[in-house]
Chains A and B, each alone.
Chain A
């Protein structure tokens, strides 16, 4: 019953008399054809170990960040913000390497009326849009109006503050605010407040151009796809020409691909986001690998929101005890391998006004103080405290942070505190935060503009509240439900105060309120890392977190 047959000729096997010979012939031929095909492919592809840059002066950048949209009226994420900052100009910007606000499309800082409501801004007259049309006050007014009216994600940044925008001359823009706002010039440096061509864009709710950009900046958008973005130099740019001939950005779906491509020389620059282990490896091999590591602090803060509507977090002593339990240096060592900075106020350390108030009041892993506070609040080994910490399931980092906190707290206060770590999918979590579903959430915050206000009002501000609970407003959206008429008053005062010293005093008072009432517990501040090949110059992360592509060049 030999079921072996021959159908390729005579013999006993399916492959004829010499089955292996036929098989080897087939595989060999297939391999040869494949090798020839691959050999022919080399003409368009640099060798993997060759320098990324060609001889044309263009710079290649790799990232895992994605750009959902390039419409300045709808872009509200980090990466589109960086792209818009390089594709467009703003009325005001920051001098590279500093936090000094300087005019860009404006010719000088605004003239402010006595009631602090009207800002008059003179504009440059030598600016041309990417489509060849001239830039003037009408274009700027159109762009700001569109930003506010089209209903994009960042629209409220301006629509809540500007009552009227008007071109009061060919090159004079007048903005009227609905309430005094001292940080307004800083807000005007937001990447989306950039002029766009009225011929390419329109005002109308939901009318957006997600994959094109026509503005005034040093680069023009040459290509925009889901996996690559190309910027060409704008030859008609009014300012200094970029130090490179263009930028090619590759978007990777995984940190591993970004890491490996950079290591093998396939990219000039790798920027966001690599895993801590990959960052550590690139730092370790900096001298032998032939690349540079550029490290910078960021203004991205990470914190815990404590929901005051849920018992026992309605008791300030419990909130204070939780603040005392947190061991930030431990988190930095265990979770981040030193690639973060402990955060002791919601205002990042890069601001002069920032005070390490939580460190002074509670320290780190201060379990004795936590025990005293909990005992005072009625908790004991026979009546232990159980707290739930929630985080978005996609965040590996926050998962490790939550579990490190659990281990640390339960080891420091055995039998007295139990930490229950929970997670849910991101969209579900953020939908429910404002409904008060979660007792504690791990969250982060990206500032909209470089001013302490963006770290205060969204956290302590509340429009409607009663008792100590916020019913509607920023603190409710942030999950703490903190309500304090005094805090609201101080927020309004610092927003209206034009004198920096007086304003700083008010902000210090607000930080003290944070540490007394503990609606949030600041945890850590990210560090930003950029990796560049040795021959690449001018790579830096600005103190304002901007990444200036036009400064990058090949040595």
Chain B
């Protein structure tokens, strides 16, 4: 027992040690890739019409005239002080301010999308697993394939056309009514801020505006969970130890909840976590389709403008999120499954 917990502690400690290395690797790759990409940020900033002297002066001001290695060292030095720099494009806005302004919208959309995906995916997957080789099972498979194959922007636009344009049940895009005042609060998460201030009108309005993008995102991602749940639950329920447990007279509910589901959920948790992390950084299409003012949209804009600090800063930020989530998943899996150890 003590040796198992010691092994788990060692595993957790090692994973925590590897996290900064992972972030540093991503940071370095992003830094080098950006410099290798054609396109001069100064040109993007000042435009082709600006005099050469003005461009040179700005290059010096931004430190872009320095050797690449020096630029990299300066960048790492800033990172150690948690300084992600300032936008070249807006000249005055720090990367942290950009994150503060845009990240809550992305988090809200991602969390709601994940809730929809989990509810739909787990329900359909469990339903399909309960009737192997039946029309229900085939329907589950088909659901997984279709939702995986449909392009996000197309599905989003179709839902918009039906539910927002034709039926007019939902707003077409954006995060909050233009004529309304979003709930004020510390977090920038409208749902949470409206609950904290007991502004239920704002809470339901936020939910109303979240509904269509969340459903779009959630339904399309649910296919992944559906497949994982269906396959794993089928395998687990057919395993010898489940049969043995039944033979020993252990109640079915206990078998499933305590034994089978725990094992079946290991890959599902991993996929859940990694999908969540990927969605936080990669919901560009959803955000564009629904005019959602999120961070992925802002990252795309920064890449187009060759806004080095913003791209680097946001990538580091996403890398840290991915690192934290993947560590959390690994620790959770290690806790669930004693076989996972270094």
Confirm or deny: A251 has a beta carbon within 8 angstroms of a beta carbon on chain B.
yes
Contact, CB under 8 Å: A3 / B238: yes
Contact, CB under 8 Å: B43 / A430: yes
- When A3-B132, A58-B179, A206-B91 are in contact, do A478 and B61 touch as well, CB less than 8 Å? no
Contact, CB under 8 Å: A13 / B90: no
Shortest distance between the CB of B2 and any CB in chain A (Å): 34
Shortest distance between the CB of A82 and any CB in chain B (Å): 18
The 0/1 profile, CB within 8 Å of B marked 1, for residues 428-448 of chain A is 101111100000000000000
- When A44-B177, A254-B291, A430-B43 are in contact, do A156 and B38 touch as well, CB less than 8 Å? no
Contact, CB under 8 Å: A252 / B92: no
Confirm or deny: B13 has a beta carbon within 8 angstroms of a beta carbon on chain A.
no
Contact, CB under 8 Å: A45 / B91: no
- Which residues in A have their C-beta under 8 angstroms from that of B289? 253-254
Confirm or deny: A264 has a beta carbon within 8 angstroms of a beta carbon on chain B.
yes
Contact, CB under 8 Å: A252 / B174: yes
Contact, CB under 8 Å: B39 / A48: no
Confirm or deny: A43 has a beta carbon within 8 angstroms of a beta carbon on chain B.
yes
- Which residues in A have their C-beta under 8 angstroms from that of B177? 44-46
Contact partner of B40 (CB less than 8 A), chosen from A23, A210, A431, is A431
> Considering residues A261, A427, A434, A472, which has the most beta carbons from chain B within 10 angstroms of its beta carbon?
A427
Contact, CB under 8 Å: B165 / A5: no
Confirm or deny: A426 has a beta carbon within 8 angstroms of a beta carbon on chain B.
yes
In the bound assembly, the distance between CA atoms of A46 and B172 in angstroms comes to 12
Contact, CB under 8 Å: A40 / B253: no
- Which residues in B have their C-beta under 8 angstroms from that of A256? 157, 160
- When A14-B129, A253-B287, A264-B168 are in contact, do A44 and B180 touch as well, CB less than 8 Å? yes
The 0/1 profile, CB within 8 Å of B marked 1, for residues 363-377 of chain A is 000000000000000
In the bound assembly, the distance between CA atoms of A163 and B157 in angstroms comes to 55
Confirm or deny: A15 has a beta carbon within 8 angstroms of a beta carbon on chain B.
yes
Confirm or deny: A211 has a beta carbon within 8 angstroms of a beta carbon on chain B.
yes
- Which residues in B have their C-beta under 8 angstroms from that of A228? 174, 178
Contact, CB under 8 Å: B92 / A43: no
In the bound assembly, the distance between CA atoms of A66 and B126 in angstroms comes to 46
Confirm or deny: B234 has a beta carbon within 8 angstroms of a beta carbon on chain A.
yes
In the bound assembly, the distance between CA atoms of A426 and B48 in angstroms comes to 12
The 0/1 profile, CB within 8 Å of B marked 1, for residues 22-49 of chain A is 0100100010001001101111111111
In the bound assembly, the distance between CA atoms of A160 and B255 in angstroms comes to 81
Confirm or deny: B227 has a beta carbon within 8 angstroms of a beta carbon on chain A.
no
- Which residues in B have their C-beta under 8 angstroms from that of A351? none
> Considering residues B48, B171, B288, B290, which has the most beta carbons from chain A within 10 angstroms of its beta carbon?
B48
Per the 8 Å Cβ criterion, residues 414-436 of A in contact with B are 424-428, 430-434
The 0/1 profile, CB within 8 Å of A marked 1, for residues 112-136 of chain B is 0000000100010011011110000
- Which residues in B have their C-beta under 8 angstroms from that of A99? none
The 0/1 profile, CB within 8 Å of B marked 1, for residues 144-180 of chain A is 0000000111011000100000000000000000000
Q: Which residue of A lies closest to B199 (CB)?
A: A44
Contact, CB under 8 Å: B48 / A478: yes
In the bound assembly, the distance between CA atoms of A471 and B177 in angstroms comes to 53
Contact partner of B54 (CB less than 8 A), chosen from A151, A254, A434, is A151
Q: Which secondary structure dominates chain A's binding surface?
A: loop
Confirm or deny: B207 has a beta carbon within 8 angstroms of a beta carbon on chain A.
yes
Confirm or deny: B204 has a beta carbon within 8 angstroms of a beta carbon on chain A.
yes
Shortest distance between the CB of B307 and any CB in chain A (Å): 10
Contact, CB under 8 Å: B90 / A208: yes
In the bound assembly, the distance between CA atoms of A210 and B307 in angstroms comes to 15
Q: Which residue of A lies closest to B173 (CB)?
A: A257
In the bound assembly, the distance between CA atoms of A40 and B203 in angstroms comes to 9
In the bound assembly, the distance between CA atoms of A266 and B180 in angstroms comes to 13
Shortest distance between the CB of A299 and any CB in chain B (Å): 16
Confirm or deny: A226 has a beta carbon within 8 angstroms of a beta carbon on chain B.
yes
Contact partner of B131 (CB less than 8 A), chosen from A13, A68, A263, is A13
- Which residues in A have their C-beta under 8 angstroms from that of B161? 260
Contact, CB under 8 Å: A433 / B39: no
- Which residues in B have their C-beta under 8 angstroms from that of A226? 101-102, 293, 297-298
Shortest distance between the CB of B189 and any CB in chain A (Å): 15
Contact partner of A248 (CB less than 8 A), chosen from B49, B130, B178, B288, is B178
Q: Which residue of B lies closest to A150 (CB)?
A: B91
Shortest distance between the CB of A451 and any CB in chain B (Å): 16
The 0/1 profile, CB within 8 Å of A marked 1, for residues 190-233 of chain B is 00000000001110110111010000000000000000000000
Binds B, one of A69-77, A286-294, A543-551: A69-77
- Which residues in A have their C-beta under 8 angstroms from that of B172? 48, 257, 260-261, 264, 266
Per the 8 Å Cβ criterion, residues 241-256 of A in contact with B are 248-254, 256
Q: Which residue of B lies closest to A394 (CB)?
A: B304
In the bound assembly, the distance between CA atoms of A225 and B293 in angstroms comes to 9
- When A156-B54, A264-B172, A425-B39 are in contact, do A45 and B208 touch as well, CB less than 8 Å? yes
- Which residues in A have their C-beta under 8 angstroms from that of B288? 253-254
Contact, CB under 8 Å: B48 / A45: no
Confirm or deny: A97 has a beta carbon within 8 angstroms of a beta carbon on chain B.
no
Confirm or deny: A218 has a beta carbon within 8 angstroms of a beta carbon on chain B.
no
Interface size of A in residues (CB-CB distance below 8 Å): 83
Q: Which secondary structure dominates chain B's binding surface?
A: helix
Confirm or deny: B52 has a beta carbon within 8 angstroms of a beta carbon on chain A.
yes
- When A13-B131, A68-B90, A260-B165 are in contact, do A433 and B178 touch as well, CB less than 8 Å? no
Contact partner of B91 (CB less than 8 A), chosen from A54, A208, A252, is A208
Contact, CB under 8 Å: A427 / B205: no
In the bound assembly, the distance between CA atoms of A260 and B170 in angstroms comes to 12
- Which residues in A have their C-beta under 8 angstroms from that of B130? 4-5, 13-15, 19
Contact partner of B297 (CB less than 8 A), chosen from A40, A160, A207, A253, is A253
- Which residues in A have their C-beta under 8 angstroms from that of B48? 430, 433-434, 477-478
- Which residues in B have their C-beta under 8 angstroms from that of A3? 132, 234, 237-238
Confirm or deny: B45 has a beta carbon within 8 angstroms of a beta carbon on chain A.
yes
Contact partner of A14 (CB less than 8 A), chosen from B101, B127, B175, B205, is B127
- Which residues in B have their C-beta under 8 angstroms from that of A257? 160, 172-174, 290-291
- When A41-B205, A43-B201 are in contact, do A253 and B234 touch as well, CB less than 8 Å? no
In the bound assembly, the distance between CA atoms of A211 and B101 in angstroms comes to 12
In the bound assembly, the distance between CA atoms of A69 and B45 in angstroms comes to 12
Confirm or deny: A128 has a beta carbon within 8 angstroms of a beta carbon on chain B.
no
Contact, CB under 8 Å: B49 / A477: yes
Q: Which residue of A lies closest to B46 (CB)?
A: A153
Per the 8 Å Cβ criterion, residues 1-16 of A in contact with B are 1, 3-8, 13-15
Per the 8 Å Cβ criterion, residues 159-209 of A in contact with B are 160, 205-209
Contact, CB under 8 Å: A6 / B164: no
Contact, CB under 8 Å: B201 / A44: yes
Shortest distance between the CB of B188 and any CB in chain A (Å): 11
Contact partner of B49 (CB less than 8 A), chosen from A207, A252, A424, A474, is A474
In the bound assembly, the distance between CA atoms of A525 and B252 in angstroms comes to 75
- Which residues in B have their C-beta under 8 angstroms from that of A48? 164, 168-172
In the bound assembly, the distance between CA atoms of A478 and B48 in angstroms comes to 7
Q: Which residue of B lies closest to A474 (CB)?
A: B49
- Which residues in B have their C-beta under 8 angstroms from that of A38? 169, 204, 207-208, 211
Shortest distance between the CB of B124 and any CB in chain A (Å): 10
Contact partner of B51 (CB less than 8 A), chosen from A23, A34, A160, A430, is A160
- Which residues in B have their C-beta under 8 angstroms from that of A249? 178
Contact partner of B173 (CB less than 8 A), chosen from A66, A248, A252, A434, is A252
- When A8-B253, A19-B127, A266-B171 are in contact, do A225 and B101 touch as well, CB less than 8 Å? yes
**Pairs A-B, 7 closest by C-beta atoms:** A427-B39, A41-B208, A14-B130, A48-B168, A7-B256, A227-B293, A428-B38
- For the complex with contacts A5-B252, A427-B40, 20 further pairs of A-B residues with Cβ separation under 8 Å are A14-B130, A19-B127, A19-B130, A19-B131, A37-B208, A41-B205, A45-B180, A45-B209, A46-B177, A47-B168, A66-B301, A153-B45, A205-B61, A227-B291, A227-B293, A252-B291, A257-B160, A260-B160, A427-B305, A428-B39
22 A–B contacts, CB within 8 A, in A order: A3-B237, A5-B237, A5-B256, A7-B252, A7-B257, A8-B253, A30-B119, A38-B208, A40-B200, A41-B205, A42-B208, A44-B201, A60-B179, A151-B54, A156-B51, A211-B93, A253-B291, A264-B172, A430-B43, A430-B47, A474-B49, A478-B48
